[in-house]
Structure 1
């Protein structure tokens, strides 16, 4: 079945004067206008198209590729404004994308850019943009792990740093102290999960720096653990002062490090401490004994 607001690979059912009709499954036949027909397209073959509704609410297909699909965020330019309807955004198709007044997060002017999510409007079944997308993000506790690589969209500035959207689904924050280069609203960058808070919110790191930092801390824990015979009485509830004295890092960094090592199955974490998985180096283990 064809998905509205997505790129689809659809079968060509028949040819007519207006263009080609494609098999849209339960949506019925969908017209691909003649001006969008690719070279070599024949009845029975397949064609990759984007499906949306036109101004008359008919499903149509196009081989033009929009800058963003339904459920995704993008930083789009304002093409025009209708005070009674909303704002029209350029998104790579002939027909501009509507940002309705009720979905706006503040005033804009022609030529401005705005971060929006493309959604399927419950009222009209048409694709629209929403600048008030926070309410559309996934509020369930995320299933990421610390150090995991993710795609980030810079959504807005914050007194603490920048608010970002993780994988088009979850909210996150990167602190000013974690930013080591230019960062602007609308940027799409790769980052890493730095920490997962108890309330499910995400602290983030940009580029490889955050990932390397967690890796370095994990290596440090492994070195101390190996040198001490493969077993140490430190865990999530240990005092920060103890962690700093033994490992030379903050308790937060320690928790990130042992979380990474646990997921990589290099250590076992129990209520009384951490234990190395596998044999300890003979000489180091003997030395500690």
Structure 2
């Protein structure tokens, strides 16, 4: 009998012991602990079980249905993180699924946090099941949204890939949304949830989106970002409208024009003063956030 690890198998009940049922045939035996059985079983009965490796790397069975298998991927919640091992995902069983550190971004700050979601399937290796991230272009093979998104609509999404020009986000239903870096104000972890505004429908459930508000509403948010930086610098910063666009982008992740609007907003509210080579805090608005 060939056992399919990380998948649902149909096996016969051979006998019952004090703590488990023994499944399989005359050549192969698999243990199903009674706590993993969803009902009482009889010898000769045929049942569907998921096969995995226990903590001692032994083949074991459960009648509980996992939310992901070797062939059927899904969005799984991150439940724990270990920088030496990777992140652990809730697969709907008593045993969590490990996504190895080798399959995570080099920067620890980009690793998923608890309750982030990753679209994965099961990878089977010797005596171990682990998670494998589904490539962004393959997700659409498994998820088909029921309806199109409307331009101007705001939707909940999860970050699945960081590209050279921007980030790829997906809804849980399978909408593919690309956001250019110039339309973002923050960096996003793998699996992090956020809300994206749809700005263009490209067809086939693919879209372009934005993570910043329209210009007149964004000024306050940009001003807060600049104010936070000034406070961190002790109330004075040497980045001004004379600084290069490259430096401004590196520090604030915004364009030079957005930076000038933000500083102008703080100046009009008499929060900062402007002098050659510096912007200085003159009003404490620590509660403005």
Q: TM-score, normalised by structure 2?
A: 0.48
Q: TM-score, normalised by structure 1?
A: 0.48
